Amino acid sequence: SRQTADRYLQRIAEEKSGAIWSLNYESGLSRLTGESFHELNDPTGILALVTDGSGSVWVATPNQLLLSENGQLRNVWGRAQEPEFQASALAPARSGGCWIAGGGRVRLFQGGQPGETRAVLDGETAAILGFLEDREGGLWLGTYGSGVIVLDPGGVWRVLLGILVG
């Protein structure tokens, strides 16, 4: 629809079927198949959208993690399973699944279940805005106010502080 296409987009992801998912800055989620957009009204407050290595689309709200199945979103983890669950950012996992940052932790979800916890962070280092997994399995986390944190596969981390050039 024109209304969907005219909104500012912040994320786009393609699932293995070829359908395109888009997330706009008003937290509106749409799925494009063929030439038509289908807006998904649930859930509210969507923060992140990524495609994993197997072509599945993952979506996060502040308190739940969802996975695309047959053009619909299925809640795979959230406050029902873990009362303190919190999400702030997602990154695709090269092996399938996704990495999720939130509640001071960075951990892997595969098959809808939590797996490895790579790190427990606190204070400003826990304010992760976006991140990715590199080809060696390291995680690069962009934080709010604490530079870039690099987590190696063993969980050892280092902080790279940025320099502003004017």
Res 2 pLDDT > 60: no
Res 164 pLDDT > 60: no
Three-state DSSP class for residue 125: helix
Over range 83-103, report the average pLDDT: 91
Over range 77-106, report the average pLDDT: 91
Eight-class DSSP state of 63: T
Note the pLDDT tens digit of each residue in 100-118.
998 888 999 998 789 999 9
Length of the chain: 166
* Contact predicate 143/134, CB 8 Å: no
pLDDT computed for residue 29 by the predictor: 86
C-alpha to C-alpha distance for 112 and 165, rounded to whole angstroms:
42
> Which range is least confidently modeled, 16-20, 35-39, 79-83?
35-39
Over range 58-74, report the average pLDDT: 89
Over range 138-154, report the average pLDDT: 89
Q: The pTM is what?
A: 0.81
At 7, the pLDDT band (50, 70, 90 cuts) reads low
pLDDT computed for residue 144 by the predictor: 82
Show Cβ contacts of residue 3 under 8 Å, excluding neighbours closer than 6 positions. none
pLDDT computed for residue 47 by the predictor: 85
Peptide bond into 62 cis (omega under 30): no
More confident residue, 141 or 162: 141
* Contact predicate 95/55, CB 8 Å: no
74, 69, 32, 6: which is closest to 22 by C-alpha?
32
